[in-house]
Amino acid sequence: MYENVEIVNAYLYHLRTTALVPTMYDVYSLSYRGFTPNTGANYIANERNVIEDSLTVWKRTQGLYPGMRPMLFSHSLGTGPTTALLEKYGKDDEHGPACVGLGMPYSSMHDVIQELSFYTSTVVIWLLDGWQSQKRIRNMHRDVPLEILSAGSDELIAPHHQNIIGENARASDVTFLFSEEADHNGLWKVVMSDDAKHARFMDKCVERVQV
């Protein structure tokens, strides 16, 4: 996203340089409506609109590369629409993603808000978007490799959310990386916690790109 470009740049650089097989990537990113620079009265950020924006990018990318599976990588808020994409397209392996990386995913937005507010938001929480990633991840195709990044010092999304996502994921191949020192934006530190494991995951991704 627009305001996270430096974090994403460092992460993607590491993806490219740690793969056992030298690989180049075409990278597509977006800012959801309601987020910088897409702000204003006509841009409403809610669960339905954000998922719709993600679906648009997905369809566009698939159209540009017929016969190939895109890789899906997301962080924090982005893991919600990513699991929504998995629920919609991930059931069919031929037309789904080559692999999926989830950086600091959450079981549901309701759970995160409850924890951050020390359970004082119970009365109004059902008025907010739920982002039920825990339920959606169960619908992904079992053959899609999944990597989950978890940060022990995450100030927004507690590590137990990543454990829940891993336990509910239907994927038969799950790579879990954890760094006790990393904070919410510490994707780089989490990947560096086990470079070799991450490199093996990336090579599985590259192997599955071609349908």
Q: Which string of DSSP letters, residue by residue, matches 131-193?
A: --HHHHGGGS-TTS-EEEEEETT-SSS-THHHHHHHHH---S-EEEEEESS--TT-HHHHHHT
Dump the DSSP string for 27-96.
------TTSTTS-STT----HHHHHHHHHHHHHHHHHHSTTBPPEEEEEGGGHHHHHHHHHHHTTSTTTS
Is the whole model's pTM more than 0.75, yes or no? Answer: yes
Q: Rounded to an integer, what distance in angstroms lies between the CA atom of residue 41 and that of residue 49?
A: 14
**Coil, helix or strand at residue 17:** helix
- CA neighbor of 104 nearest in space, from 76, 128, 67: 76
The model's confidence at residue 31, banded by pLDDT at 50, 70 and 90, is: confident
Whether the upstream peptide bond of residue 37 has omega within 30° of 0, thus cis, is yes
CB neighbour list of residue 136: distance below 8 Å, 6 or more residues apart: 83, 84, 86, 87
> Between 64 and 113, where is the model more confident?
64
Query: 52-56, 89-93, 200-204: lowest mean pLDDT where?
Result: 89-93
Query: 8-17, 171-180, 185-194: lowest mean pLDDT where?
Result: 8-17
Q: Rounded to an integer, what distance in angstroms lies between the CA atom of residue 140 and that of residue 14?
A: 26
Which residue shows structure tokens 């719709």? 52
Query: 33-47, 60-74, 136-150: lowest mean pLDDT where?
Result: 33-47
Cβ atoms of residues 150 and 181 within 8 Å: no
Residue 181 has a CB neighbour count (10 Å cut-off) of: 11
Residue 3 has a CB neighbour count (10 Å cut-off) of: 10
Instruction: Tell me the domain boundaries of the chain.
Output: 10-24+68-208
Q: Rounded to an integer, what distance in angstroms lies between the CA atom of residue 82 and that of residue 103?
A: 11
10-24+68-208 maps to which CATH number? 3.40.50.1820
Per-residue pLDDT tens over the stretch 61-104: 989 999 999 999 999 989 999 999 998 886 777 889 999 999 99
